[in-house]
Amino acid sequence: MISNKAKAHIALISLNTMYGANYLIAKGLMPNKIGASALVFLRISGAGILFLIIKLFTKEKVEKKDMPRLFLCGLLGVASNQFFSMNGLSLTSPVDAAIIVTAMPIFTIIISYFLLKEPLTLQRILGITIGGNGAVLLIYLGKSGLGTGSLKGNIFIGLNALSFAFYLVLVKPLMSKYQPITVIFWTFLFGFIGMFPFCIGQLLETTFVSYEISHWISLSYVIIGPTFLAYLLNIFALQYVKPAVSSSYIYVHPAVAMLLVAGITYFVADSQYHGDITIIKILCCFLIIIGVYLISSTRIRWLK
């Protein structure tokens, strides 16, 4: 019989694989079939409705004093995060996006230092320096015209990672005080309110009558897979493994994205993704991985 801890690891692999595949699936819809902001609207509202259905089975109330923090979490962890993620992905390479997002733990450590006064050791400073340089270099590579990457798109993905890092720091005390589904429901509700005026216009301009079955399948995947199911799987996993273990699975993102891009470029002669995977991008990925390893691991002997 599979243990709960093993199930947690299976859940983490599954949800991060969904995230990794989402870079290509969502990219395939934008911008020809749907604008990035319109996709953000459907993603937040669709998943929000599903979370509402689950929330109806729990009667937990939230204290008024916690509402401002929940509102801020909704703006950062849902509205801003999704807006910059989808708009950035529509402008840049799915490989670039998947690699840049892995720098999120670096942003989280820096923010925790300023907001939570968590100490910065020599090892963490070294990790921030190495990983940060990898992320900055990759973002700047968008200017070189290699593959489908773009500087503006890479900057948006960086802002996506930064906004979600702020969310992780701010939501921490709420997750220990309330049931996870309560926190997620309110963050999605406030996230919907925050993104509504910026995304509703593009949604109304979207022509769904031209959609084929494949487009509806892709749209359903983006809403249900890496949004709704991924949040639920993460909630389950965090009951049995530490947050540090959960965050380490973020490296699945670029691996899945690179494998899918490699497969497409191999089987499709005129694929737009030719040039998206380069040695220097792989080097940037390793720099970020080394940086995150240094800031998240226990102290290394030679750095004591």
Give the per-residue pLDDT at 35: 96
pLDDT of residue 291: 84
Helix, strand and coil content of the chain, in percent to the nearest 5, comes to 80, 0, 20
Task: Note whether 269 and 88 are within 8 A (CB).
Answer: no
Q: What is the mean pLDDT of residues 176-182?
A: 88
Q: Say what the pLDDT of residue 70 is.
A: 96
Question: Which pLDDT score, from 0 to 100, does residue 123 have?
Answer: 86
**In the numeric block, which tokens belong to residue 65?**
């004093």
Tell me what the mean pLDDT of segment 41-66 comes to: 94
Q: What pLDDT score does 85 carry? A: 94
Which distant-in-sequence residues (6+ apart) come within 8 Å of 12 by Cβ?
233, 234, 237, 241, 245, 246, 249
**pLDDT tens, 65-90?**
999 999 999 999 999 999 999 999 99
Task: Look up the pTM and report it.
Answer: 0.86
Query: If pLDDT is split at 50, 70 and 90, which confidence band does 144 have?
Result: low
pLDDT higher than 80, residue 271: no
Confidence of residue 140 (pLDDT cuts 50, 70, 90): confident
**Token pair in block for residue 196:** 């509504």
Average pLDDT (152-177) is 89
Integer CA distances (angstroms), 33 to 1, 111, 148, in order: 45, 37, 18
Q: Write the CB contacts of 206 (distance below 8 Å, at least 6 apart in sequence).
A: 34, 35, 38
What percentage of the chain reaches a pLDDT higher than 70? Answer: 90
Is pLDDT of 105 > 60? yes
Whether residue 42 has pLDDT greater than 70 = yes
Token pair for residue 123? 């090892």
